[in-house]
Amino acid sequence: MMRTRPLKVALLGCGVVGSEVARIMTTHADDLTARIGAPVELAGVAVRRPSKVREGIDPALVTTDATALVKRGDIDVVVEVIGGIEPARTLITTAFEHGASVVSANKALIAQDGAALHATAVQHGRDLYYEAAVAGAIPLIRPLRESLAGDKVNRVLGIVNGTTNFILDKMDTTGAGYQEALDEATALGYAEADPTADVEGFDAAAKAAILAGIAFHTRVRLDDVYREGMTEVTASDFASAKRMGCTIKLLAICERAADGGSVTARVHPAMIPLSHPLASVREAYNAVFVEAEAAGQLMFYGPGAGGAPTASAVLGDLVAVCRNKLGESTGPGDSAYTQLPVSSMGEVVTRYHISLDVADKPGVLAQVATVFAEHGVSIDTVRQTVKDGEASLVVVTHRAPDAALSGTVEALRNLDTVRGVASIMRVEGE
């Protein structure tokens, strides 16, 4: 039986994503009513600049007092798309305390304080959903949290930032340098005026923390994620990658240790074989590769940002939360029963691609090989070139602990015959 009294929704933020949420709620009102079992009503919109014209939104709904809006008591669901830590954290907590469930797209907040927010939601019998916090429109959190709940996920490997993927794709396909590719991304609206959060890996690290926590049922905070940006990737790195049959992507990698006793989460640029599904992800698209014991290998692909795609994920959560509200129930919450420790980057086992500028004289290769051997790192391939009196060595290692590889690089820097380390990059996806 259809309920006639509407479920009331408060929208915090009405920028690119928030305006799309409001638009879809209006244009798809009949469909949403049919899917939920009750009408949904936009009851208020909290913004910073009330004078701005917002097409399709009744000005009477607009307020600058977000706190008063979430405290009203008649709000069923709060949709938070303002981002950042504060005031979002306080507003979400206040919403729970005053009877509302919450749908959020706030990756930074969930990565930093997700456990505390979930605890508050449980305390007050409310839902906290955040599909839109990771990979935009791509259904990813719900499959990990629900569809794979009976399986054991061992690895999540993905491209979760569209800006960096656009930049690296342009460098790969056109030969552009980093700055040139960044300028194009900015002109097209993919990169912010200050792209630091994207290109230095902060955005991807927050998403990695969320994915690792859900996939491995353990507490993974943003501070647990090793982070390395992609601003130092050069055209020569792509040339080396192509010689290996690889390309370069900024990857978020979440892994369960082989013995199952710990997990790791990291973000860094890496070479991946062209045969890997992630190598073909172009432009500003996102894709995440999940490896589970029973399900095997799964790949989730689609637009990872933008107003409409992100709003799609928000509305999906809104429907689920409203259905729970009508059924007087809550959906899956935080699951951290394993309480696995998060290992440091030094314990991660990886491969390396190392390019060295060396002296052009006999015995250099032997000296370099000795350093690798002394640190317990096995060499897979070596390529030596001499051009215009300048010599270089490119060494690709077998898998070894990252700490051993890092120690090797430091020792190489101290060799008289090594004039410089031109580039260092991990090799993944094999």
Residues forming the active site? 207
Question: Cα 191 from chain centroid?
Answer: 16
The answer to whether the beta carbons of residues 146 and 332 sit under 8 Å apart is: yes
CB atoms within 10 A of CB 188: 11
User: How big is the chain, counted in residues?
Assistant: 430
- Residue with the two structure tokens 């935009």: 136
Which regions of 98-164 does DSSP assign to beta strands (E)?
101-104, 128-129, 153-159
Amino acid identity of residue 161, one-letter, is N
Helix (H, G, I), strand (E, B), or coil: what is residue 133?
A: helix
- 46 contacts 12 by C-beta, under 8 angstroms: yes
Q: Report the distance separating Cα 407 and Cα 227, nearest Å.
A: 19
Distance of CA 406 to the CA centre of its chain: 25
**Which residues fall within 8 angstroms of residue 7, CB to CB, at 6 or more apart?**
36, 38, 39, 40, 41, 76, 77, 322, 325, 326
Six-digit token string for 393 = 């060595």
Q: How far apart are CA 339 and CA 260, in angstroms?
A: 12
d(CA 31, CA 151): 33
Closest CA to 242 of 162, 171, 164, 161: 171
